Amino acid sequence: MAEQTPPRTYETPPTERPITEAEAARSAGLAHNEHLKIASGYLRGTLADGLLKHATGAISEDDGQLVKFHGMYMQDDRDIRAERTKKKLEKAFSFMIRLRIAGGVVTPKQWLALDKIATTYAGGALRATTRQTFQYHGVIKSNLKRTMAAIDATLLDTIAACGDVNRNVMAATNPAQVGAHKAAYQLGKDISDSLLPKTSAWREIWLDGERVVGGEEEAEVEPVYGKTYLPRKFKTVIAVPPSNEVDIFAHDLGFIAILDDKNEVTGWNVTVGGGMGMTHGETDTFPRTADVMCFVEPEDALKTAEAVMTVQRDWGNRKVRKNARLKYTIERYGLAAFRAEVEKRVGKPLADPKPFTFTNNGDRYGWTEGDDGRHHLTLYIPSGRIKDIDGGPQLLTGLRRIAEIHEGDFRLTGNQNVIIANVPAEKRAEIEALVDQYGLQKGASALRRNSMACVALPTCGLALAESERYLPDLMTELETSLASHGLQDDEITIRMTGCPNGCARPYIAEIGLVGRGPERYHLYLGAAFDGSRLGKLYGEDVTASEIKTILDPLFAAYAKNKQPGERFGDYLIRDGYVTKTINGPDFHDKIGPLKSAA
């Protein structure tokens, strides 16, 4: 008789709203960021004064936390940090600015304006992120207000693109399902608008807007968030099967479209409790795939989104920040209790989830005709970096030329690629000619098509190892290995990050590499091709030069022994090379190779 798993024991959820008074927060031992938020005057802090301090390119440490809510991170160029320190110079500080673009859709006019901002203030590059939006890098402090004013002029903003709030909402981009895409985009935009912080601090600080008299004292200035906002970041995505290109299981809250036989949305399965980040060496932190909690009718989706977020607002851990995400809240109190509280706040019982199937979490490259007769072209953008490459694709110039004549829209994908969408049949040849002229890529090798990397060095202050700059070279090595085993056309997901925060979602890639130090990585294997299962730590502190050596015999075994249609991650589990990860809590159990691949 099989051994029975003992039932889980969960804690009793809290019944009070979060503490918002400074003295009470100190007495309760809340995390430092909670005190910052309470004292910030709804995200103002001393940011306005700090921008006037021209003797430094930095802002204060506390303002560095608050500015995230405004869509920014302060960074410095780590490639020249040592040299500047030797010369007793301040670090080369600059800012990363992330836009809020629900569903990743922009007009050609907006594209051209964002391009101009990139060439004026951000080193001639736009970066499409894994959050289906744009980032600018290298904006110096003296140009921040000019950059923000230029972004505002495009009718876009950066509010809540970072910070302890509902961040940029991702939505399915599959252009072949026009009606479903429209429904997914609209739900994403509605959630983004509904859960947006109401403080006027962004406009006051960056656009010299008028301050609402007594605004920071108004108890209702943040009717949903309150003074302390959320315990940690909160990420929402909308998926349309069979494609899971938004990686729905990697996020706090998700909506999976349930379609009828005409591809129309009849409602949404709701997922909760996914998240990628962890801390090396601390097993009480772990990535987690989301649970499919319930099914909601279309008219209840927005209310359900707010209910899920407010339960996390009230139940999330505000004492230990590393355990503050929704994934830990559900592990602490249980899915059943969480669902019951969501139903209470929605005001009705919610139905159980309905069947659905995902087949992959990648993009469709090349031309696709939608069911409305309009055409869509997905371009491969290596690591999302939109710039002109010497001797290679002229991505920035080429897309600028396309934006000048395009009549549809542009869509960013969760895989850092760009879709030239809604092209009338008669304009397709003109677009195609520009794609060819500027060497834009309508695809790449099977491995590169399913790759992602975070920015990492030199700008990200959290990076322990290279990612974006190294992954292309590694893929060249691995492509040689795959081809030697006849696997050059096999689709395998590979993702790399410079630190364990997991911005490129490596833990749900069939080959996941997470930075540990200079040229050292943890290697994770055994995740599912559709993004529904976490990988398992296979190799610890693997040097860059060892990665191919470790993977080559596994590729050989896969080529020899795989079953028809079997994916690489599934094969490694079936043939006993790595343990299957069920979910977050067992992520750190039974790690390492189960048998030799030599």
Q: What is the pLDDT of residue 416?
A: 96
Where helices occur in 221-354 by DSSP H, the ranges are 301-315, 326-333, 335-346
- Say which residues have a Cβ less than 8 Å from residue 525's Cβ, sequence separation at least 6: 510, 511, 512, 535, 536, 538, 554, 569, 572, 577, 578
pLDDT given at position 210: 61
* CA-CA-CA-CA dihedral for 580, 582, 585, 587, to nearest 10: 30
Contacts of 289 (CB under 8 A, 6+ apart): 249, 250, 274, 508, 532, 533, 534, 583, 584
Query: For residues 417, 421, 423 and 428, what is the CA-based torsion angle, rounded to 10 degrees?
Result: 10
Q: Is 162 known as a binding-site position?
A: no
294 labelled as ligand-binding? no
Opening angle at CA 129, ends 357 and 138, nearest 5: 170
- Name the 3-class secondary structure at 170: strand
Is the domain defined by 448-575 classed in CATH 3.30.413.10? yes
Q: How far is the CA of 75 from the CAs of 52, 117, 142, in angstroms?
A: 18, 19, 14
- Using the predicted structure, report yes or no on whether residue 372 has a pLDDT greater than 90: no
Q: Look up residue 78 and give its DSSP letter.
A: T
Q: Could you tell me the sign of the dihedral formed by the alpha carbons of 516, 517, 523, 527, in that order?
A: positive
- Show the tokens assigned to 565: 């249609």
Q: Are 361 and 315 in contact (CB under 8 A)?
A: no
pLDDT tens digits for range 376-422: 999 999 999 999 999 999 999 999 999 999 999 999 999 999 999 99
- For 483-522, the pLDDT digits (tens) are 999 999 999 999 999 999 999 999 999 999 999 999 999 9
Residue 531: what pLDDT? 97
Confidence of residue 232 (pLDDT cuts 50, 70, 90): very high
Determine which helix (DSSP H) or strand (DSSP E) holds 296, and give its type and residue range.
strand 291-296
What is the C-alpha to C-alpha distance for residues 296 and 343, in angstroms, rounded to an integer? Answer: 11
For residue 304, give the 3-state DSSP assignment: helix
Count CB-CB contacts under 10 A for residue 468: 25
Residues in Cβ contact with 511 at an 8 Å cutoff, skipping those fewer than 6 apart = 492, 493, 494, 495, 523, 524, 525, 551, 568
**Span 447-474, pLDDT tens digits:** 999 999 999 999 999 999 999 999 999 9
Q: Assess contact for 557 and 575: CB atoms under 8 A.
A: yes
By DSSP bridging, strand 451-453 and strand 385-386 are unpaired
Task: Specify the pLDDT at position 1.
Answer: 43
Mean pLDDT of 238-254: 97
**DSSP letter string, 404-445:** HH--SEEEE-TTS-EEEEEE-GGGHHHHHHHHHHTT-BS---
CA–CA distance, 399 with 395 (Å, rounded to integer)? 6
- CA 382: distance to chain centroid? 16
Calculate the alpha carbon distances from 481 to 66, 308, 444 in Å. Answer: 46, 45, 17
The answer to whether 167 and 132 are in contact (CB under 8 A) is: no
**What does the pLDDT read at residue 274?**
98
5 confidence band (pLDDT: 50, 70, 90) = low
Query: Beta strands 409-412 and 418-423: pairing type?
Result: antiparallel
Q: Return the pLDDT at 217.
A: 47
pLDDT of residue 4: 54
Q: 366-444, superfamily in CATH?
A: Sulfite Reductase Hemoprotein;Domain 2 (3.90.480.10)
Q: Residue 525 corresponds to which amino acid?
A: L
CATH 3.30.413.10 boundaries in the chain: 21-346, 448-575
User: What are the tens digits of pLDDT across the range 84-139?
Assistant: 999 999 999 999 999 999 999 999 999 999 999 999 999 999 999 999 999 999 99
For residue 215, pLDDT over 50 is answered with no
Whether residue 205 is predicted with pLDDT greater than 90 in this model: the reply is yes
pLDDT for the residue 176: 76
Encode 579-591: b = buried (16+ Cβ within 10 Å), e = exposed.
bbbebbeebbeeb
Contact 429, 133 (CB under 8 A): no
Please, which pLDDT band fits residue 370 given cuts at 50, 70 and 90? confident
pLDDT tens digits for range 273-305: 999 999 999 999 999 999 999 999 999 999 999
Please provide the average confidence, as pLDDT, over all residues in the chain. Answer: 95
Prediction pTM value: 0.96
538 pLDDT tier (thresholds 50, 70, 90): very high
Residues catalogued as catalytic? 98, 167, 233, 235, 454, 460, 499, 503
Q: Could you tell me the pLDDT band of residue 70, with boundaries at 50, 70 and 90?
A: very high
**CATH 3.90.480.10 residue ranges in the chain?**
366-444
Q: Determine the average pLDDT of the residues in 319-336.
A: 98
Q: What is the pLDDT of residues 518-536, one digit of tens each?
A: 999 999 999 999 999 999 9
Peptide bond into 585 cis (omega under 30): no
Per-residue pLDDT of 143-165, as tens digits, reads 999 999 999 999 999 999 999 99
Examine the pLDDT at 220 and tell me if it is beyond 70. no
User: For the chain, how far is it from start to end, CA to CA, in angstroms?
Assistant: 36
In contact, 371 and 180? CB cutoff 8 Å:
no
Question: Are the C-beta atoms of residues 104 and 116 closer than 8 Å to each other?
Answer: no
Cβ 485 vs Cβ 557: under 8 Å: no
Spatial CA neighbour of 322 closest among 364, 287, 366: 287
Residue 547 has pLDDT above 50, yes or no: yes
Q: Which single residue is written with the structure tokens 């009230």? A: 314
Structure tokens at 536: 């398992």
Top-tier CATH class for 21-346: alpha beta
Determine contact, residues 131/505, Cβ cutoff 8 Å: no
Report the distance separating Cα 364 and Cα 78, nearest Å.
Answer: 36
pLDDT of the residue at 160: 96
Strand partners, 453: 496
